[in-house]
Chains A and B, each alone.
Chain A
Amino acid sequence: MPLRRVTFNFKKEMIQRPVIYELGKMFEIVTNIRRAEVDHDDGWVVLELEGSIDEIQRGLEWVTKQGVEVSSLEGDILAG
């Protein structure tokens, strides 16, 4: 199954919501957290997603709609 490595960036209002749990329940995606830092004001989680390409795409679109910023693990590739 395809794997995708991403970073979720959480704003203050999203910190208490179990978005990653919901992602795994709502979509056929296995989530695997590798690194994270969360405090009162914000947080980020580096994780691996396993699932079909289409399902991961749908899942990430849903996460983005919830207000979580998603970025690729390597950051922006397109350079000046």
Chain B
Amino acid sequence: MSVNQRASDHELLLSLPARLPEVMCATPSELRGPVEKLSNVQSLRCKECGRDYPQEPIYVCDFCFGPLEVIYDLHAASKSMSRESIQDGPLTMWRYDQLLPASREHAVDIGAGMTPLVKAENLGKELGLNNLWIKNDAANPTHSFKDRVVSVAATKAVEFDFDTIACASTGNLAGATAAHGAKANMNTMVFIPSNLERGKILGAAIFGSVVLVNGNYDDVNRLCSELGDDRRWAFVNINMRPYYSEGSKSIGYELAEQLGWRAPSHIIVPVASGSLFTKVFKGLNEFAELGIIDSNNSKMHIAQPAGCSPVATAFVDGQTHPKPVIPDTIAKSLAIGSPADGFYSVEIANKTGGSGTIVPEPEIAEGMKLLAETEGIFTETAGGVVISALKRLARENIIHPDEETVALITGTGLKTLEAIADQVETSTIEPTIGSFDEIVMGTAVT
């Protein structure tokens, strides 16, 4: 339950069915057959006290309530994993299944991963960076990086024999969960604030059941936390979280592979909960430990919007623990006021010599426009935060011109059209050459 100061008097009016529909056919796990191989997972381990737990749908340590993380037997992985074995794998994130908590044979896979890494020469010239790359995760099946995490969560949900997969979302996670739930033949419960833009609701509802909740963000958070305790559902970012978050590592693996088996000097990451930030770093570290890359010396840079910057603010202020904030940003996909992995993100940014950038709200749309106009990539608002942060880092010489730099674009701008409504200009003409010349070309015939 979340009871911070955003609580309102809105009444929760929930269109939840009285009971879940009966599944009239085989369960998802029956359809897929027995799980024969559990990748190279060693255990779940508490990130605070180090206690180990078996692979179960749990997410906090019973003893200290610290978060649990998947730990791998890297020695075992080293025997079967190499650059060549990876390249022989499928053209999806599941080519790295030796370092994911499930095997590709049983994956709920709609094609997430292996998204383009684009050499950004035009944007680089604009910013004075000669070695700039854009990792375009908007190219995922439901147009955001959330496909990676939900693919793993759905796979584990099937493995644990859940028949229902659930999430609470204002956008990208909703679509990813609904799509993977459909692919896995599972019941799907996607909870969305009822005042969300219609396009986002429809973008998830097309795949299956979406529940609109009358209430603010806190109300939805609280409801889902209570449902998570009350129902035996696979909530992707609650009881599936240790597995779910592992999907983000595949971005780190792909960066290394696509760059020719090395880690870049700088990675700029949009931060919400901080999970993506920590897992990209973890992925590169695992590759370094396995000898797949020589080393991981990437400097990890936090990018957050001014309207919700608890992690970047903690970094800038020299604090270790981000203080919760009330989000008020146009970057809705980064509107996590109480970030579960904020502490660990600050720790990594400090350890790697990275940074934390707080991007003023007006600069978000400017960043979106700059990327679109220079590289032909239409990013969501989170990407605008990243590009504007990158611009600042280049201007302040935190990133030097020749250093290899990757900016993560995590979703498409088509989901956040309202953010750029007053940033773009169009011309309307009459259907005549004269009108075209006059209005568009500015060369009116006299």
Taking Cβ atoms with an 8 Å cutoff, the residues of A that contact B are 4-7, 9, 34-35, 37, 42, 44, 46, 48, 57, 60-61, 64, 69-80
Contacts and interface: CB of A to CB of B under 8 A. Distances in A.
Interface stretch (B21-29, B34-42, B165-173, B394-402): B165-173
Contact of A73 (B3, B65, B382): B65
Interface stretch (B181-189, B333-341, B346-354): B333-341
Contacts of A6: 1, 3
Nearest to A64: B3
A4 B226 CA distance: 9
Contacts of A46: 64-65
A79 B324 contact: no
Nearest to B216: A78
A79 B273 contact: yes
Given A34-B64, A71-B324, A76 B337 contact: yes
Contact of A78 (B1, B146, B224): B224
A79 B170 contact: yes
Interface string B39-63: 0000000001000000000011001
- DSSP class of B's interface residues: helix, strand, loop or mixed? loop
- DSSP class of A's interface residues: helix, strand, loop or mixed? strand
A75 B338 contact: yes
A17 B283 CA distance: 43
Contact of B4 (A37, A44, A69): A69
A76 B333 contact: no
Given A5-B65, A60-B1, A78-B169, A71 B321 contact: no
Contacts of B224: 77-78
Given A9-B323, A69-B324, A76 B273 contact: yes
A42 B319 CA distance: 10
